Amino acid sequence: MRKGRAREARPFDEGRFQVGRTMYLAIDFGGTRTRAGWFSAELALLRRAEAPSQTEEPPEAVIARIIGLARSVVPTGEMPAAIGICGPGAQAYTGIILNARTLPGWERVPLAEPISAAFGGAPTFMENDANLAALAEYHFGAAQGCDPAVYLTVSTGIGGGAVIGGRLFTGWHGLAIEPGHIPFVMPDGRVLDLELLASGTAIGRLARERLAATDTPSTLRDLARVDGRAVGEAAQRGDALARALIEEAGRWLGLGLVTLAHLFNPQAIVLGGSVATLGDLILQPAREQLAAHLIDPAFNDPDLLRLAALGDDVCLTGAALHARARLQEARPAS
Amino acid sequence: MRKGRAREARPFDEGRFQVGRTMYLAIDFGGTRTRAGWFSAELALLRRAEAPSQTEEPPEAVIARIIGLARSVVPTGEMPAAIGICGPGAQAYTGIILNARTLPGWERVPLAEPISAAFGGAPTFMENDANLAALAEYHFGAAQGCDPAVYLTVSTGIGGGAVIGGRLFTGWHGLAIEPGHIPFVMPDGRVLDLELLASGTAIGRLARERLAATDTPSTLRDLARVDGRAVGEAAQRGDALARALIEEAGRWLGLGLVTLAHLFNPQAIVLGGSVATLGDLILQPAREQLAAHLIDPAFNDPDLLRLAALGDDVCLTGAALHARARLQEARPAS
C-alpha cells in the first residue's frame, strides 16, 4: 500500500515544531519551475520564491536546490508545522518520484523524505499537481462551495482531481481521477485515450499529421516547429486548419466531460491548463457535446463548466491546503 | 434479475421484539415485483413479503398495494423508526417517480410521501436500485471492506452506484454513477453510450440487426423472439454468432470498466445483473480490455472485478441500510 510516506517514516515530534505559530511550507516541484511558499495557519501566502527546476541535472543536485529555495522562504528561527509538496506523476502521494513522464531518468527517487529531513523531520505530504489544483480551486478558486468539484487540466497532458464531501478524493491507491486515460475507439479500431486526442501534445501531433497528409493551406506551414501552442496561436489568428483541429480536440474533450458529468454529477467542473485558455475555440464544441449527450438536463447546470480562477500559484496553494488537512487528520485533537 | 444466494429471512419470533426498539421498514418497488422487509436495528431481515407490482394498474392502486404489502411485514403494535424505499429511475432520491423507463405513464408520482403517511409519518428515504445495491454489496456482499467500491449492473439497462469513504456517493443532485451513459464514437460518427452497446437490450437489438444483415448460420434463426436472454442462452450453448455478440458487448463493457478504474481507482468493482451472470463469456473480453488499456498495473488489482454476492434481496437490504444511515445522519445524537 502506501509505503515510503514521509509521515510514516518520521513520526511527528510535537515538542520540536510548536515553538511558535502553526505555519506551513509548500513546495511546487514542476518539470520547468520550482516554487516555494511560506503560509500562515489561515493559509495566507507570506513569503514566496521561484527558480528554474533544471531537471537535466542529477536528482541530488536538483533536490539540494529545491531545499535551498524552500529555506529561503522560511523565516529565521521558524519551522513548518507541516510541509506540502506538489510532485509530478499520478503516484506522487508515495513521496517518491516513481517515473513521471516529465522527468526522464528520475526513477524511484525519494523526494518527500530528504525535504522532511532538511526541516527537522517535519511531517511532509506529497500529492500530484492536478489533485492539489482541485483542492485549491475548491477552497479558494472557481469551485468554492461546490461539492463534488472536479478539476481537469488540459495542457501538455491531461490530468484531473476531485473534491468529494469536502475532502480530496484519491481512490484506493491514490490514483483516482485520471480523465486523460478515458478510452475511445477510433474508426480503424485502435483505442486511444483522451490525452492522445485533446491534449496540447495531441493537437501538435495531429497538426503535423494533417499538414503532411493534405494540401490544405495553413499559416502553420510557414513555421519551423508545429506544436500545440503554435496551433492554438494560429487558431486565434483565424487559421482554418488550426481551428478545425482545436474544434476536434474540443469535441473529444466534450465527450470526456459527458463521462465525468454522468459519473460524478459534479456541481462544478473547473478547467485549467494552457489549452483551456483558448476559451470558446475549444470550449464551444465541448459544450455542444454536453448539450447533445447528457441524458438529463439536470446534469448540465449552466454553471457546470468554469475556467480555473487561480493562477501560477494554484499548486503551491494546494500543497499548503493539503499539508494543513493531513496534519489536522493526524492530530484531530489540536 | 440478480441471481445468487438469497439472504435467508430468519423465522419470525415475536419474543425478540420490544416496543420502542429501532426497527426499519424496507420496500423494493421494482417494475416486475415488489418486496417488503422488516429489519432489526442490526439490519437482520426478520419478516419478508413479496408480490407482483402490477404496474399496468393506475398508480393509486399500485401504491395502495405496496402499502398493504409493507403493512403485512410490520408486527402489530410496532412502527418503523425509518423507511427505506428502492425506487426506479436515477432521480428516485426525490421521493417522486419522475419518469422511469420501466414505468411508462408514471410521471411525477409521489411515492415516498404516501408511504410515510401510512406509517405515522416515519422518516422515509428513497433511492434508486443501483445505488442501494452498491450500498448493500459494500456492507454485506462482494465489496465488504472495499473503499471506494463501485457497483455496475448490466441487465435490461446499465446502472451503477458507488460507496466512497463509507458513504453512498450520490453527487450534487443525486444523479451520480450512471456508467450506462459513458459515450463512445462509432466508426460512422454516431455517439452511442455503453447501455446501447452492452446491455441485455442492446445485445438483443444487435443480434436482430446482425441476423437481418448477414447469412451467418445461427440457432437464433429458429427462435420466434431474439432478445438479450435468448442470445445469452445461445452463447452458452456454443452458438458462434451469439458468442461473437456477447464478446463484442464484453469489449465495450471492458472499456467502461477502464474508465471507471481510471476515474475512481476503486478497490472493487462489483458486477451484478443478468448479463454479468454469463460469466467468462462476457467477462474475459472485458478483462482483456482492462489488461490492455489501464495505464498502470496498480489500477488493476487481481481482485478488482467481483461478481455480486447478494441475491434477490440486495435492494431490500440496501433500502434498510440507507434508511438507517440517513436516520443516523438526521439524528446524530440518538
Any chain A CB within 8 A of the CB of B304? no
Residue B108 in any domain: the answer is yes
- pLDDT at residue B333, as a whole number: 53
Q: Are residues B275 and B322 in the same domain?
A: no
Q: Are residues A211 and A71 in the same domain?
A: no
Q: Stretch B176-200: mean pLDDT, rounded? A: 97
Give residue-wise pLDDT tens across range B88-119.
877 888 888 876 666 777 888 999 999 999 99
Give residue-wise pLDDT tens across range A226-258.
999 999 999 999 999 999 999 999 999 999 999
Spell out the SS3 assignment of A134-202: HHHHHHHCCCCCCCCEEEEEECCCEEEEEEECCEECCCCCCCCCCHHHCEEECCCCCEEECHHHHCHHH
Q: Do the Cβ atoms of A91 and B298 come within 8 Å?
A: yes
Residue A1 in any domain: the answer is no
Kind of pairing, strands B82-87 and B24-29?
parallel
Chain A residue numbers touching B175 (CB-CB < 8 A) = 265, 296, 298-299
Q: Do the Cβ atoms of B185 and A181 come within 8 Å?
A: no
- Tell me how many degrees the CA angle B258-B259-B260 measures, rounded to the nearest 5: 95
Residue B315 near residue B303, CB atoms below 8 Å: no
Residue A137 near residue A146, CB atoms below 8 Å: no
Distance CA B126, CA B26 (A): 10
Q: Are residues B323 and B262 in the same domain?
A: no
| DSSP code, position B91 | T
Task: Mutation target for A interface from B99, B151, B178, B288: give the one with most A CBs within 10 A.
Answer: B178
- pLDDT at residue A89, as a whole number: 79
Q: Are residues A157 and A232 in the same domain?
A: yes
Q: Are residues B266 and B197 in the same domain?
A: yes
Distance CA A276, CA A333 (A): 42
List CB contacts of B7: < 8 A, sequence separation 6 or more: B45, B140, B310, B311, B313, B317
- Closest by Cβ to A293, choosing from B183, B292, B293: B183
Amino acid letter, residue B117:
A
- Tell me how many degrees the CA angle B251-B256-B261 measures, rounded to the nearest 5: 120
Q: Are residues B166 and B180 in the same domain?
A: yes
- Residue B6 CA to chain centroid, in angstroms? 15
- Closest by Cβ to B265, choosing from A148, A172, A264: A172
Name the grid cell of A203. Answer: 493537437
Q: Which long-range contacts (C-beta less than 8 Å, at least 24 apart) are formed by B288-291?
A: B288/B251, B288/B254, B289/A183, B289/A191, B289/B251, B289/B254, B289/B255, B289/B257, B289/B258, B290/B254, B290/B257, B290/B258, B290/B261
Chain B residue numbers touching A138 (CB-CB < 8 A) = none
User: Considering only CA atoms, which of B141, B134, B146 is closest in space to residue A171?
Assistant: B146
- pLDDT at residue B9, as a whole number: 45
What's the alpha-carbon Rg for chain A, to the nearest Å? 21
Q: Do the Cβ atoms of A298 and B167 come within 8 Å?
A: no
Task: Mutation target for A interface from B98, B150, B259: give the one with most A CBs within 10 A.
Answer: B259
pLDDT at A33 over 60: yes
Distance CA B238, CA A238 (A): 58
pLDDT at A36 over 60: yes
Q: Are residues B176 and B117 in the same domain?
A: no
- Closest by Cβ to A177, choosing from B172, B176, B263: B263
Q: Stretch A258-270: mean pLDDT, rounded? A: 98
Residue B7 in any domain: the answer is no
Distance CA A123, CA B168 (A): 32
Q: Are residues B199 and B271 in the same domain?
A: yes
User: Considering only CA atoms, which of B234, B254, B255 is closest in space to residue B243?
Assistant: B234
Chain B residue numbers touching A195 (CB-CB < 8 A) = none
Give residue-wise pLDDT tens across range A286-323.
999 999 999 988 898 999 999 999 999 999 999 999 99
Residue B199 in any domain: the answer is yes
Residue B196 in any domain: the answer is yes
Burial class (CB in 10 A: 0-12, 13-18, 19+), A334: exposed
List CB contacts of B222: < 8 A, sequence separation 6 or more: none
How much of chain B, in percent, has pLDDT values that exceed 70? 92
Q: Are residues B320 and B279 in the same domain?
A: no
Q: Are residues B86 and B217 in the same domain?
A: no
A46 CB neighbour count, 10 Å cutoff = 13
Q: Are residues B177 and B301 in the same domain?
A: yes
| DSSP code, position B173 | S
Band of pLDDT at residue B191, cut at 50, 70 and 90: very high
N-to-C CA span, chain B: 37
pLDDT at B8 over 70: no
Distance CA A86, CA A53 (A): 13
User: Residue B29 belongs to a domain with what CATH number?
Assistant: 3.30.420.40
DSSP per position, A32-100: SEEEEEEE-TT--EEEEEEEE--TTS-HHHHHHHHHHHHHHHSPTT---SEEEEEESSTTGGGSEE---
Residue B140 in any domain: the answer is no
Residue B268, CB-side half-sphere exposure with 13 Å CA sphere: 23
Total domain count for chain B? 2
- pLDDT at residue A114, as a whole number: 97
Give residue-wise pLDDT tens across range A199-228.
999 999 999 999 999 999 999 999 999 999
Domain coverage including residue A147: 143-307
How much of chain A, in percent, has pLDDT values that exceed 70? 92
Q: Stretch A92-103: mean pLDDT, rounded? A: 79
Distances (CA, A) of A282 to A157, A249, B30: 16, 7, 43
Q: Are residues A115 and A189 in the same domain?
A: no
pLDDT at B15 over 50: no
Any chain A CB within 8 A of the CB of B98? no
ipTM of the complex: 0.90
Residue B47 in any domain: the answer is yes
Residue A44 in any domain: the answer is yes
